[in-house]
């Protein structure tokens, strides 16, 4: 089974795939442009996700896609406008994944739910030890962490299905 994890951002979105328990792909989708003009950025994110689907995953569809969604509320020191733009990026990513892989289970999850309260850098070290890979940046590490979460969901679904039969 193939699962994906996507760490959505305004400029650099991390994406990682786990297939049959092995990390098989990790990459960053970089979207440049005027910070005030989100429309072109959203269009570029959508196009980039489509290219990833066509060029990298070809005809293989993921069973589960876990996408990090913004936290509810605005933490102190955060710009409300940036949070709204991040929600826009999340919505574009979620909608495009639904279009690309209509049979996939899509899960939006807040950072605290999948990362917990780990100290900074611990999740990265855990993913490095578990999958024996090196990602290029924190976006890809987060994408891999989300894919790992998706893999756990896939295994739980398989176990539940096995219990039914």
Give the domain ranges of the chain.
2-164
Pull the structure tokens for residue 9. Answer: 């951002």
- What is the per-residue pLDDT for 1? 93
- What is the per-residue pLDDT for 151? 97
Whether residue 78 is predicted with pLDDT greater than 90 in this model: the reply is no
Quick one: DSSP state of residue 109? E
- What is the per-residue pLDDT for 35? 65
Class of domain 2-164: alpha beta
Position with higher pLDDT, 129 vs 74: 129
Whether residue 153 is predicted with pLDDT greater than 90 in this model: the reply is yes
Quick one: DSSP state of residue 63? S
CB-based burial, 127-147: b 16+ in 10 Å, e otherwise: beeebebebeebbbbbbbbbb
> Residue 75 — pLDDT band, cuts 50, 70, 90?
low
Mean per-residue pLDDT for 41-48? Answer: 92
- What is the per-residue pLDDT for 81? 72
Nearest to 105 by CA among 156, 49, 163, 48: 156
- What is the per-residue pLDDT for 103? 95
Mean per-residue pLDDT for 66-81? Answer: 77
- What is the per-residue pLDDT for 41? 87
Task: Tell me the backbone φ, ψ of residue 154, rounded to 5 degrees.
Answer: -65, -45
> Full-prediction pTM beyond 0.75?
yes
Mean per-residue pLDDT for 95-121? Answer: 89
């Amino acid at each position: 089974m193939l699962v994906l994890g996507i760490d959505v951002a305004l400029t650099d979105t991390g994406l990682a795939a786990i297939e049959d328990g092995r990390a098989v792909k990790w990459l960053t989708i970089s979207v440049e442009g005027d910070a005030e003009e989100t429309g072109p950025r959203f269009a570029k994110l959508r196009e980039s996700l489509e290219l990833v689907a066509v060029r990298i995953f070809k005809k293989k569809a993921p069973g589960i896609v876990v996408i990090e969604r913004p936290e509810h509320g605005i933490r102190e020191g955060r710009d409300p406008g940036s949070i709204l733009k991040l929600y826009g990026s999340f919505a574009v990513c979620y909608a495009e994944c639904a279009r690309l892989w209509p049979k996939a289970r899509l899960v939006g999850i807040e950072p605290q739910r999948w990362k917990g309260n780990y100290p900074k850098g611990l999740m990265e070290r855990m993913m490095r030890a578990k999958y024996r890979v090196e990602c290029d940046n924190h976006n890809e590490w987060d994408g891999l962490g989300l894919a790992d979460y998706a893999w756990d969901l896939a295994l739980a679904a398989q176990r539940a299905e096995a219990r039914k039969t």
